[in-house]
């Protein structure tokens, strides 16, 4: 079981805390608004009314031992900046902070945030990719220009082996795993003679532009 803290319980923070808790993790939820704390209480391990800009109060919680702390404090940019600075100074190793825009994100990184979250931008990209490349079921950004995606195989893949498709040579894309749905099975690093079926899901790793070319094989 992992341990997390969520600071700021607006819509984004509330649902992050709830999802982490429902996944079986220990979750401490913090907010200065008592009504928000009462709302999250059934969906977390501990809910605390607190002004998170007070460094001594944060330090008393032992947040440095958490697997991660998520900062989601609304539209007051200065508050999130100050909280991230305090978390960094007390030794929190992983700080995920919600940013309102690119400049806000850059400042948060400067004061100690290890990962910046742009909810609207990230969802927009996800929706756009789902519309423009509907065979891609899930999209996970890695380093810049590299992605890990779950792909429903195009018609051109059906009945062919990975060796026949030769995706690595033709597209510089790697099939690192296959989810077989009928019957359910997971194959890590499938062999070259693996034949693709319409009920398979391919886990692919590659550059964004190379993965996009897979659409041309339909």
Tally Cβ neighbours within 10 Å of residue 61. 18
Q: Are residues 7 and 112 in the same domain?
A: yes
pLDDT at 89 over 80: yes
Band (212; pLDDT cuts 50, 70, 90): confident
The tally of domains found in the chain comes to 2
Q: Please, which pLDDT band fits residue 98 given cuts at 50, 70 and 90?
A: very high
Residues 106 and 27 in one domain: yes
Burial class (CB in 10 A: 0-12, 13-18, 19+), 152: middle
Whether the per-residue pLDDT at 185 is higher than 90: the answer is no
- Same domain for 171 and 194, yes or no, is yes
Question: What CA–CA distance (Å, rounded) separates 61 from 37?
Answer: 16
Q: Which pLDDT value is given to residue 114?
A: 94
More confident residue, 59 or 1: 59
Predicted pLDDT at 136: 53
Domain-terminating residue out of 120, 145, 175: 120
Range with the poorest average pLDDT among 10-19, 89-98, 106-115, 140-149 = 140-149
142 compared with 77, residue with greater pLDDT: 77
What is d(CA 134, CA 132) in angstroms, rounded to the nearest whole number?
Answer: 6
Tell whether 103 and 146 lie within a shared domain: no
- Co-location of 11 and 32 in the same domain: yes
Percent of the chain residues past pLDDT 70, beyond the cut: 88
Same domain, 154 and 193: yes
Instruction: Tell me the average pLDDT across 162-191.
Output: 88
Counting DSSP H helices and E strands in the chain, the numbers are 9, 11
90 & 150 share domain: no
Q: Token pair for residue 13? A: 């923070």
Q: Are residues 157 and 104 in the same domain?
A: no
Checking if the pLDDT of 133 tops 70, the result is no
CATH of the domain at 16: 3.40.50.720
| pLDDT, tens only, 20-70 | 998 889 999 999 999 999 999 999 999 999 999 999 999 999 999 999 999
Domain encompassing residue 209:
129-217
């Amino acid at each position: 079981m992992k341990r997390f803290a969520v600071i700021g319980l607006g819509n984004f923070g509330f649902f992050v805390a709830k999802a982490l808790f429902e996944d079986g993790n220990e979750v401490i939820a913090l907010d200065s608004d008592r009504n928000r704390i009462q709302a999250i209480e059934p969906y977390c391990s501990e809910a605390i009314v607190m002004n998170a800009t007070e460094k001594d109060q944060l330090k008393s919680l032992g947040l440095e031992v958490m697997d991660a702390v998520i900062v989601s404090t609304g539209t007051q940019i200065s508050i999130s900046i100050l909280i991230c600075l305090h978390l960094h100074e007390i030794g929190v190793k992983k700080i995920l902070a919600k940013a309102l825009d690119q400049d806000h994100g850059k400042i948060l990184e400067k004061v100690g945030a290890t990962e910046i979250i742009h909810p609207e931008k990230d969802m927009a990209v996800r929706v756009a990719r789902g519309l423009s490349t509907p065979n891609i079921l899930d999209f996970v950004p890695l380093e810049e220009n590299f992605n890990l995606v779950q792909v429903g195989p195009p018609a051109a893949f059906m009945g062919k082996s990975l060796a026949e498709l030769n995706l690595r040579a033709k597209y510089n894309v790697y099939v690192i795993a296959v989810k077989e749905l009928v019957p359910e099975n997971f194959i890590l690093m499938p062999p070259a003679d693996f034949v693709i079926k319409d009920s398979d899901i391919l886990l692919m790793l590659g550059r964004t532009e190379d993965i996009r070319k897979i659409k041309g094989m339909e």
